[in-house]
Amino acid sequence: MRILVPVKRVVDYNVKIRVKADGSGVDTANVKMSMNPFDEIACEQAIRLKEAGHAEEIVAVSIGEAKCQETLRTALAMGADRGIHVEAPADVQPLAVAKMLRAIVGREQPGLVVMGKQAIDDDSNQTGQMLAALLGWAQATFISKLELADGRAVVAREVDEGLERIEVTLPAVLTVDLRLNEPRYASLPNIMKAKKKPIDVLTPGDLGVDPAPRLLYLKVEEPPRRQAGVKLGSVDELVTKLKQDAGVI
């Protein structure tokens, strides 16, 4: 079986986000970019499935600007076998990403697509669900446990009420949650080896998809600044303040 792992290049989760002065988006100039953390977990899971003998090949896909190839190299250094870069604008939206992934699934015929539950830049949480719908495949989202056997995946899903256990038949789209695993760091020899692994470059046109945005961002704003706190001398003072200043009791 082949596993497809879509990996997105996003602003690193440690970076303090700055909004552009004109409110048109987030400033990404000279900002550290990394693989979306949920996609690292997806990549790790695909590698573990290969190590356990469930898969022969892992193909990582990234859609976006030329620098997405750095993200693909990270996936290759972790253990993916080859990469596909779809050279497109940086801000391709989930429906267009899902359509491109559908076309790549058509070419590559994977038995599983393992991807992040959401990208931490736009927090859309849409691409996996859209891809499964476009393909007519089963989907299991927010998974925190996975077992494969007899052409089926048994997963635990993280839902509001706790954990939900479901079984889906393959081929399927799985979207991973934080607790599924702890991704490995790529070793230096593997980083060197990854430089020689192949990356195919495609365009949205090759996949028959128009990458133009369907949604228009009106304005991006910083959240209001938090007010400074005050230290109070006694519980009585606190009660008075809650009554008189805050008006909450």
Fill in the DSSP letter of residue 79. T
- What the block records as the tokens of 40 is 């690292």
Any contact of residue 190 with ligand AMP (CB under 6 A)? no
- The answer to whether the beta carbons of residues 80 and 62 sit under 8 Å apart is no
Looking at the Cβ atoms of 91 and 164, the one nearer to ligand AMP is 91
Any contact of residue 7 with ligand AMP (CB under 6 A)? yes
DSSP string, 19-54: B-TTSSSB--TT--EEE-HHHHHHHHHHHHHHHTTS
Angstrom distances, CA of residue 186 to CA of 10, 17, 65 = 19, 26, 23
Any contact of residue 36 with ligand AMP (CB under 6 A)? yes
State the number of binding residues for ligand AMP (CB under 6 A).
23
With H, G, I as helix, E, B as strand and everything else as coil, classify residue 133: helix
Residue that has been written with the tokens 């469930």 in this structure:
54
Any contact of residue 87 with ligand AMP (CB under 6 A)? no
Any contact of residue 69 with ligand AMP (CB under 6 A)? no
Distance in Å, CB of 126 to ligand AMP, minimum? 4
Distance in Å, CB of 90 to ligand AMP, minimum? 8
Any contact of residue 39 with ligand AMP (CB under 6 A)? yes
Q: How many CA atoms lie within 13 A of 110 on its CB side?
A: 28
Distance in Å, CB of 55 to ligand AMP, minimum? 17
Please pick, from the candidates 58, 92, 132, 186, the single residue that binds ligand AMP as defined by CB under 6 A. Answer: 92
Stretch that binds ligand AMP, among 18-26, 51-59, 110-118, 145-153 (CB under 6 A): 110-118
State the CB neighbour count (10 A cutoff) for residue 59. Answer: 22
Give the separation between CA 175 and CA 213, rounded to whole angstroms.
23
DSSP H helical ranges for 109-157: 127-135
Q: For residue 127, which of 2, 6, 248 has the smallest C-alpha distance?
A: 6
Any contact of residue 124 with ligand AMP (CB under 6 A)? yes
Residues 131-160 that bind ligand AMP (CB under 6 A): none
Please pick, from the candidates 119, 132, 135, 207, the single residue that binds ligand AMP as defined by CB under 6 A. Answer: 119
Distance in Å, CB of 65 to ligand AMP, minimum? 10
Looking at the Cβ atoms of 124 and 144, the one nearer to ligand AMP is 124
Any contact of residue 34 with ligand AMP (CB under 6 A)? no
Give the separation between CA 195 and CA 201, rounded to whole angstroms.
15
Give the separation between CA 236 and CA 129, rounded to whole angstroms.
53
Residue 106, H or E segment: helix 94-108
Any contact of residue 8 with ligand AMP (CB under 6 A)? yes
- Chain residues binding ligand AMP by CB under 6 A are 6-8, 36, 38-39, 61-64, 92, 94, 97, 115-116, 118-119, 122, 124-128
